[in-house]
Amino acid sequence: MKSLFLADIVGLEKIVNSDPVAITFFIGYMAMFASAVFFFIERGSVDGKWKASLLVSGLITGIAAVHYYYMRDFYLQTGTSPTAFRYVDWTLTVPLMCVEFYLLTKPFGAKGSTLFKLIVAALVMLITGYIGETSGLDNNVMWGIFSTLGYLYIVYEVFAGDVAKLAKGSNSPALNRAMFLLKIFITLGWSIYPIGYMVLPGNLLSGAFEVSSIDLFYNLADAINKIGFGLVIYSVAISETALSRKLAKA
C-alpha cells in the first residue's frame, strides 16, 4: 500500500513539474473519456442509420480512454513507454476505424470483403509495428517497412480502391465531404505515427528527438485521429439528419 501511495505522489509530482509526456497521457485520458460520453449521448440526436457510426466513435474513444488510464499509470510508475498497452489499444481501435469506413459506404453497396481487407491490412501494420518496437536496434527499420506496406494498402483502398469507388458512385455530397476529410486523416493524421516510430534508437530520426518523445507523437496523433475522425462523422450525421428531416416535412 505504502509504495502505491508513494508512486501516486511521484506521479503527481511529474505532472506538476510539467513532464510533457505525463501531461499528455493525463490530458489524453480526459479528452478520450469526454469524447466517448459526447458520442454516446449524441447518438440520440441523429437518424437511425447514423446511430451505429456514432456508437463506433464512442467505442473507439471509450476503449482509448481505458487504455490511457492504464498507460498514464504505467508511464508514471516506470518512466518508460507503455508499448504493449498502446498496441492492444490500436489493435482494437484501428479495426473499428475500418468499420467506420464500411458503415459510411454501406448504404452505397460496400461489401463485407472490403471491410475484411481493410482489417487484415491494419493487423499487418500493427503486428509488424509491434515486433519492430520490441525487436531492438537492428531490426526496427525492416519491420517499420513491412508495417508501412500495410498502411499504404489502407491508403490505396481509401483513395483508389473499393471505398473510393463506392463514395464516388454515391452522389451524396455529405458522404463525399466526409470522405475528403477522412482522406486527410488517413494521410496526414496517421503519418504522425510512423514519424514517432522513427525516433526509436537505430531508426531514421533517432537522435533528432529524445526517445521519450515517441509517446508525445503517439498521444498527439491519437487525439487528432480518434477524436477528430469521430467529429467528422458526427458533423456529417448531424447535417444529413437535418436534411432528411427537412425533406420529410416538405
Site string for ligand RET, 87-106 (x = CB under 6 A): ---x--xx--x---------
Q: Please identify which residue in 101, 197, 217, 234 interacts with ligand RET, judged by CB under 6 A.
A: 197
Please give the Cα distance from 94 to 59 (Å, whole number). 11
Residues contacting residue 115 through CB under 8 Å, at least 6 positions apart? 98, 99, 101, 102
C-alpha cell at 135: 525487436
Q: Using the rule CB under 6 A, is 140 a contact of ligand RET?
A: no
Determine contact, residues 56/226, Cβ cutoff 8 Å. Answer: no
Minimal distance, residue 37 CB to ligand RET, in Å: 18
CA distances, 122 to each of 14, 63, 90, 152, 162 (Å): 34, 17, 9, 10, 16
Q: Please identify which residue in 129, 158, 236, 240 interacts with ligand RET, judged by CB under 6 A.
A: 129
Paired strand residues for 206: 209
Q: Please identify which residue in 190, 199, 214, 237 interacts with ligand RET, judged by CB under 6 A.
A: 190
Minimal distance, residue 109 CB to ligand RET, in Å: 26
Q: Please identify which residue in 28, 58, 194, 230 interacts with ligand RET, judged by CB under 6 A.
A: 194
Please give the Cα distance from 100 to 54 (Å, whole number). 9
Q: Using the rule CB under 6 A, is 148 a contact of ligand RET?
A: yes
C-alpha cell at 39: 458520442
Task: Point out which residues bind ligand RET (CB under 6 A).
Answer: 90, 93-94, 97, 125-126, 129, 132, 144, 147-148, 151, 190, 193-194, 197, 222, 225-226
